[in-house]
C-alpha cells in the first residue's frame, strides 16, 4: 500500500502549491497524490531540496489524508530505573559507570513509589528505559514490571528498547524470544523505539560501537512483533550521519513494517550534543527538525503515526510540526532524564491542559489516546488521581 492510500489503495487528490521553488519535486508530488510508494532517490531529493515548504505541504497532505485534523497525545510518565551503563556511547550524556559518584540505581520499591508520585492526573502509560546495568538481572526487571502491574493494573507498560532486550539475552544466555516472552508474562505490554540511532555501520562504529548493530536491532524488533508486542521506532539525526544514511534507515524500517506490521509510531529524534564527547557538533535547527518529520511521513507509508516529540524539539516546534506531517505530540512525560542530561532546556513535563492548549493553538483537534491509539474518555473533568478508572474506547 502506498503513502496515504485508503484501504482500497486509492489516494486522495491534491494540487501543487502555487509557488514551488524546486521544480524537481514535481514528480515526487505526483507520486504522493497517486498514493505511490517513494523510493530511495525520492528520499534523497526530499532531504536535499531547499524548498522545505513544498516538502512540508506534501507531508501535511498525507498526514491529513490519514488522520484528518486530529493530533494525538497521552498522559504518560517516564521512568528511568538506572543510568548505570556498561556501554560508552559517544552520543550519550545519560549513561554512567557504576563507580561514578553521580550514578544512580533505584530499588524496586523506589521504582514503584516513583511511578505514582506527585502527579494528579490519571496516567495511562509508563514509559520505561534505562542503562545497560552490569548486575541487575532479568528477574529483577521482571519483578519490577510485575510489581507495577500489581499496583497500577490499568496502566499500560511500554518498556525496554531493542538494545536492552539484546543485552538481557547476552547476560542471561537466552534467545531474544525467550527474554521477550518472560517480560510479556511479567506484564510488558509494548516497547519503545529507542536505541536505533542510525543503522549505518560506518556511523555506529563512531557513535555507539558498544551497542548491537542495525541488523540486530531490526531482528529484535521483528521477534518482538512476532510474540505479539507492538513497538515504536526511531532515528537519531543531526550528528555524523549523511542524507544517504537517513534514507537507508527509513527504508529498512519500512521493510520490516511490510513484514510484521508491528511498528505503531515513528519518532525522529534530534541529537543533543551537550555533555557528550560529540559536543563540538552544532545543534539541529527548527528547519532540520521539521524536515525530518516531513520526510518520515512521506517515506514511511506503512507506519501509521509520526510523533513530534516536544521534549526534543521544544513545544513550539512540535506545534508547527503538526502541519509538516506529524500527528502526535507525545504526552505529559513528567520526568525525562535522558535528553535533559544532554542539555535539553524544555520542561521535565507538561500538564494535560498544556498539551490541549498547544494542540488547539496549532489549529488541530486534540485526541487523548492510550498507547495503542484508542480514545481515552475522562468522566470527571479530566483530572483524577493515579489509579482512577478511565474509559478506553476500542
Average pLDDT over residues 35-42: 98
- pLDDT tens per residue, range 242-254: 999 999 999 999 9
Q: What is the pLDDT at residue 341?
A: 41
Q: What pLDDT was estimated at residue 275?
A: 77
Q: Averaged over 129-147, what is the pLDDT? A: 96
Whether the pLDDT of residue 36 is over 60: the answer is yes
Tell me, what's the pLDDT at 93? 65
Sign of CA dihedral 214, 218, 219, 221: positive
Indicate whether 17 belongs to any domain.
no
In a domain, 95, yes or no: yes
Domain range holding 218? 70-393
Q: What is the mean pLDDT of residues 45-56?
A: 97
Band (pLDDT 50/70/90 cuts) for residue 87 is confident
For residue 34, is it within any domain? no
Q: What CATH number is attached to the domain comprising 299? A: 3.20.20.70
d(CA 220, CA 266): 17
Q: What's the pLDDT score for residue 282?
A: 85
pLDDT for 128 = 96
pLDDT band at residue 336 under the 50/70/90 scheme: very low
Could you tell me if residue 3 is inside a domain?
no
Question: Structural domain tally of the chain?
Answer: 1
> Is residue 350 in some structural domain?
yes
Report the pLDDT averaged over residues 290-317: 95
Q: What's the pLDDT band for 385 if we cut at 50, 70, 90?
A: very low
Question: Does a structural domain hold residue 263?
Answer: yes
Mean pLDDT calculated for residue range 147-158: 95
More confident residue, 140 or 131: 140
Mean pLDDT of the chain: 87
320 within domain boundaries:
yes
What pLDDT, on the 0 to 100 scale, is given for residue 18?
62
Tell me, what's the pLDDT at 67?
Answer: 98
pLDDT for 378? 81
90 or 207, which is more confident: 207
361 within domain boundaries:
yes
pLDDT value of residue 4: 52
Amino acid at each position: 500500500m502506498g503513502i496515504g492510500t485508503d484501504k482500497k489503495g486509492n489516494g486522495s487528490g491534491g494540487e501543487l502549491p502555487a509557488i514551488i521553488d524546486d521544480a524537481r519535486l514535481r514528480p515526487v508530488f505526483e507520486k504522493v497524490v497517486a498514493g505511490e510508494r517513494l523510493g530511495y532517490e525520492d528520499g534523497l531529493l526530499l532531504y536535499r531540496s531547499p524548498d522545505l515548504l513544498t516538502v512540508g505541504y506534501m507531508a501535511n497532505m498525507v498526514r491529513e489524508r490519514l488522520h484528518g485534523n486530529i493530533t494525538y497525545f497521552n498522559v504518560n510518565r517516564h521512568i528511568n530505573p538506572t543510568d548505570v551503563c556498561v556501554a560508552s556511547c559517544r552520543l550519550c550524556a545519560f549513561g554512567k559507570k557504576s563507580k561514578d559518584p553521580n550514578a544512580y540505581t533505584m530499588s524496586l520499591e523506589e521504582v514503584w513509589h516513583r511511578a505514582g508520585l506527585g502527579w494528579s492526573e490519571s496516567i495511562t502509560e509508563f514509559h520505561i528505559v534505562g542503562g545497560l546495568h552490569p548486575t541487575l538481572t532479568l528477574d529483577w526487571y521482571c519483578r519490577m514490571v510485575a510489581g507495577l502491574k500489581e499496583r497500577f493494573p490499568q496502566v499500560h507498560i511500554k518498556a525496554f528498547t531493542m538494545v536492552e532486550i539484546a543485552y538481557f539475552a547476552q547476560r542471561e544466555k537466552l534467545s531474544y524470544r525467550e527474554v521477550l516472552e518472560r517480560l510479556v508474562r511479567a506484564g510488558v505490554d509494548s516497547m519503545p523505539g529507542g536505541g536505533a540511532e542510525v543503522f549505518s555501520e560506518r556511523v555506529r562504529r563512531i557513535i555507539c560501537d558498544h551497542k548491537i548493530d542495525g541488523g540486530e536491532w531490526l531482528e529484535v524488533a521483528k521477534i518482538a512483533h512476532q510474540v505479539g508486542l507492538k513497538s515504536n521506532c526511531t532515528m537519531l539525526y543531526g550528528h555524523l550521519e549523511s542524507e544517504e544514511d537517513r534514507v537507508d534507515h527509513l527504508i529498512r524500517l519500512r521493510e520490516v513494517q511490510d513484514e510484521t506490521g508491528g511498528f505503531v509510531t515513528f519518532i525522529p529524534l534530534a541529537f543533543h550534543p551537550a555533555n557528550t564527547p560529540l559536543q563540538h557538533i552544532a545543534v539541529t535547527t527548527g528547519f532540520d527538525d521539521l524536515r525530518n518529520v516531513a520526510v518520515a511521513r512521506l517515506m514511511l507509508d506503512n507506519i501509521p503515526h509520526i510523533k513530534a516529540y516536544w521534549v526534543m524539539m521544544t513545544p513550539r516546534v512540535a506545534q508547527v510540526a503538526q502541519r509538516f506531517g506529524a500527528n502526535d505530540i507525545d504526552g505529559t512525560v513528567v520526568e525525562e532524564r535522558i535528553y535533559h542530561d544532554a542539555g535539553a532546556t524544555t520542561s521535565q513535563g507538561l500538564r494535560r491542559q498544556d498539551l490541549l492548549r498547544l494542540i488547539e493553538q496549532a489549529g488541530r483537534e486534540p485526541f487523548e489516546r492510550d498507547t495503542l491509539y484508542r480514545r481515552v474518555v475522562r468522566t470527571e473533568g479530566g483530572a483524577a488521581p493515579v489509579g482512577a478508572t478511565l474509559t478506553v474506547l476500542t
